[in-house]
Amino acid sequence: MNSISLHRGGFYWAMVLLLIEISCSNSRQGSMLQGDTTDNEIMNSLPARRLLTYWNDFNFDGRVLVVNSDYAEQKLVDFIILFPTVPDTVVRVAIHNMLKKAAAEPKTFTYFLDKYSHYLYSPNSPMRNEGYYELVLIYLAGDETLSDEQRSHYTTLLKHVRKNQVRTMAADFEFLAKDGKYRRMHAGTKPYKMLVFYDPTCTHCAAVMLDLAQTPVVINCIENGFLDVVSVSLHPDRGSWMGYQKRIPDSWINGWDEQGQVINNGLYNIRAYPSIFLLDEKNRVLLKDAPLDVTLRYLVNLTNEGN
């Protein structure tokens, strides 16, 4: 199902917005819990205990899915919404414990793996978060009950997900700018950089890029010297890139990956266009391929902190 809320429409969109707000904040509750507290204090905190005991009353029997699969799916959505309330170390334990329980029933295990992928890894999911999906993949890559072929698949996927993680240095590459000069992605001195990979033949890209170009917070950040927007076409045809340039604001740094480094060398895990990364002045990743609304909310928070 594509809807986040399976049964409670408006309430769950509100919960998704809450998840976005928490995820976009540098001082999210999970980080606050870590502070000077010990591991035992973290694990025994109310948010952690709520997450770690979340599946205690759930029947993982495969017949439950036949009778009411919507309930199981909503249960998982509720679970994911709680992730930002605790440190990732707690999320990892909670996910792994849940998967161990689900693994007792193969159909249930397969069902939940599919839903984890859908909500946390699908490019079309407003809840997508590769950091959380990495925790699922860590379990699967080390699960000795799976076949060698399955573990190899998840290990490879894990390597892709770990590229350009949050708080790490984004991979640098050279691109041809619209002025005919070659630039490095790492170039620039602005406090923040929005890196946008796009395909000029993609109609969805055009709509998102237009929204981005017309967003007041982005315009103001550029005008005030707070942000560079670096848009890079990954389409192999130069003519397509040239023809698209009139749609890119002059205030953006627009380029083309002439050598195809990003895709051919696997520098970034690009699964859909546009793919947006938010970087700091040292080119460290703040947000990785996040939905546009998440990126904009994060940017608003950054501007508020700077004032």
Q: Is residue 168 part of a domain?
A: no
Q: Is residue 1 part of a domain?
A: no
- CA 219/CA 13 separation, integer angstroms: 28
Cis peptide bond N-terminal to 274, omega within 30: yes
Stronger pLDDT, 126 or 256, i.e. the higher one: 256
Q: Is residue 216 part of a domain?
A: yes
Long-range CB contact pairs, 7-12, < 8 A, 24+: 7/70, 7/74, 12/77
- CA 200/CA 133 separation, integer angstroms: 29
Q: Is residue 38 part of a domain?
A: yes
Q: DSSP H helical segments within 196-245, as ranges?
A: 203-214, 216-223, 238-244
Are residue 157 and residue 107 in the same domain, yes or no?
Answer: yes
Query: 188-198 burial by CB neighbour count: b if 16+ within 10 A, else e?
Result: bebebbbbbbb
Are residue 93 and residue 31 in the same domain, yes or no?
Answer: yes
pTM, 2 dp: 0.84
Q: How many CB atoms lie within 10 A of CB 239?
A: 9
- Is the Cβ–Cβ distance between 178 and 255 less than 8 Å? yes
Q: How many CB atoms lie within 10 A of CB 151?
A: 16
Structural domains counted in the chain? 2
- Boundary-marking domain end, from 139, 161, 183: 161
Q: Is residue 169 part of a domain?
A: no
- Boundary-marking domain end, from 124, 139, 161: 161
Are residue 115 and residue 194 in the same domain, yes or no?
Answer: no
pLDDT digits 0-9 by tens, 132-143 = 999 999 999 999
Predicted confidence band at 204 (pLDDT cuts at 50, 70, 90)?
A: confident
Tokens of 82: 């709680």
Q: Is residue 3 part of a domain?
A: no
CATH number for the domain that contains residue 255: 3.40.30.10
pLDDT digits 0-9 by tens, 28-85 = 444 445 555 678 888 989 999 999 999 999 999 888 787 788 999 999 999 999 999 9
The backbone region for 194, taken as left when phi is positive above 0, alpha when psi lies in -120 to 50, beta otherwise, is beta
pLDDT digits 0-9 by tens, 111-131 = 999 999 999 999 989 899 999
Predicted pLDDT of residue 33: 52
Question: Where in the sequence is the domain holding 42, given as residue range(s)?
Answer: 9-161
Q: Is 61 helix (H, G, I), strand (E, B) or coil?
A: coil
Predicted confidence band at 205 (pLDDT cuts at 50, 70, 90)?
A: confident
Q: What angle do CA 159, 162, 166 make, to 5 degrees?
A: 175
